[in-house]
Amino acid sequence: MQQMKRLLVVYVALQALFALSWCFSDAEPGPAAGSQSNGDRFKIEGRAIVPGVKTQDWISTARILVEGEEYVGFLKTDGSFAVNDVPSGSYVVEIVSPSFRFDPVRVDITSKGKMRARLVNYIKTSEVIRQPYPLQIRSSGPHTYFMKRETWGWTDFLMNPMVMMMVLPLLIIVLLPKVVNTNDPEMRKEMEQSMNMLNPNPELPDVSEFMTKLFSKGSSKSSGGNKGSRSVAPKRR
């Protein structure tokens, strides 16, 4: 019995040297809960959830990729998954599905098989924002692969700056004389005064007047320009 014990001690000591030897890690007293170790290979476990969608509708096209295609896992019918035979290290675990978007998670595995999941941050790689382990990966919705077509709507047309620039002055010209009572002599005087203020040189020929003269000669021919000439018409009065 005594000899047996001594042998055991020697054995354990030697085993410590073979820290990565497969038979040791099985005898290891406490690998983290949930991580079954197989030699120096470990198992990444988790579950994928797509809210509101039955698992059988999407699991057949989905895969779990660990660090690219270095390790591959598949989804079970209940949405859980396990990737076997992963040695210790730090990996980005990603659920790849053509229909749903999942955020990747970084999983760190120590040489003793302790697992930790955290957010992926490629810029500050050492930053740790803990995620639950075994992984709980919730889909953030379906992929948005497509651009929206620019549809033509009246609001888009009216909100166009060019249209606004054309329409607003037109409205002012047409509506203002109606809102302001032009028959009121006081108001007319006031307006004339303000016009004179704006136009200090009354001798200068008015551009609008010049244009109307030009167009009224061949008024029957000009078509598109009519809009412009009509818009200045009330001003002339």
Partner 1 sequence: MAWLVVRLAISVSLLYTASAVFEDQVGKFDWRQQFIGKVRFALFDTHSQASKKLLVATDKNVFASLNSRTGDLFWRHVDKIGPEGHIDALLMYGQDAVVVTGNGRLLRSWETTVGGLKWETVLDTGRLFMLFCVNIRINWCIKLTVSTFDHSFQAAALVGVQDFVKYVAVLKKSAISLHDLSSGSQIWVENLPDSDTVQYQTIYSGGNGLVFVFGVVPNSHIVIVEYKIEDGEIMRKKSVEAAWMSSLESSCTVISSGILLCVDQITQSLYTLQLQSAEQTEIRQIHLQTLDLEVASGFQPVLTSTQPNPAQPPLSEFFLQLSPDHHILLQLKDGLIAPLRDFNPSYLAAFATSGERTVAAVMSPKNDTACSINLFSADTGRRHLDTTIIYHMDPNGGKPNRLYVHAFLKKDDSVGYRVMVQTEDLTLTFLQQPGRVVWVREEALADVVTMEMVDLPFTGTQAELEGEFGKKADGLLPMVLKRLSSQFILLQAWLAHLWKLFYDARKPRSSVKNEVTIDTLSRDEFNLQKMMVMVTASGKLFGIDSKSGTILWKQYLENIQPDSVFKLIVQRTTAHFPHPPQCTLLIKNKDTGLGNLYVFNPIFGKKSQISVPALPRPVLQTLLLPVIDQDYAKVLLLIDDQYKVTAFPSTKNVLQQLQDTASSIFFYLVDSSQGKLSGFRLRKDLSTELIWEVVIPTEVQKIVAIKGKRANEHVHSQGRVMGDRSVLYKYLNPNLLAVITESTDTHQERSFVGIFLIDGVTGRIVHEAVQRKARGPVHFVHSENWMVYVYWNSKFRRNEFSVLELFEGAELYNSTVFSSLDRPHPPQVLQQSYIFPAPISTLEATLTEKGITSRHLLVGLPSGNILSLPKMFLDPRRPEVVSEQSREENLIPYAPEMPIREEWFINYNQTVSRIRGIHTAPSGLESTCLVVAYGLDIYQTRVFPSKQFDVLKDDYDYVLISSVLFGLFFATMISKRLAEVKLLNRAWR
DSSP assignment letter at 57: G
What the block records as the tokens of 74 is: 């598949």
Q: Does 3 bind partner 1 (CB under 8 A)?
A: no
What the block records as the tokens of 83 is: 């990737």
Least Å from the CB of residue 211 to partner 1: 16
Residue 63 sits at φ, ψ, to 5 deg, of -140, 160
Least Å from the CB of residue 77 to partner 1: 4
Binding to partner 1 (CB under 8 A) within 173-212 occurs at: none
Stretch of 88-96, 164-172, 175-183, 197-205 contacting partner 1, by CB under 8 A: 88-96
Q: Does 27 bind partner 1 (CB under 8 A)?
A: yes
Stretch of 22-30, 111-119, 191-199, 203-211 contacting partner 1, by CB under 8 A: 22-30
Least Å from the CB of residue 223 to partner 1: 4
Please enumerate, as own/partner, the contacts of 125-134 that have beta carbons within 8 Å and a separation of 24 or more.
131/105, 133/34, 133/46, 133/107, 134/34, 134/45, 134/46, 134/47
Least Å from the CB of residue 33 to partner 1: 18
Q: Does 117 bind partner 1 (CB under 8 A)?
A: no
49 Ramachandran zone, left/alpha/beta (phi>0; psi -120 to 50): beta
* Total number of residues that touch partner 1 (CB under 8 A): 60
Q: Is the dihedral of CA 49, 51, 57, 62 positive or negative?
A: negative
Binding mask 120-139 for partner 1 (x = CB under 8 A): x-xx-x--------------
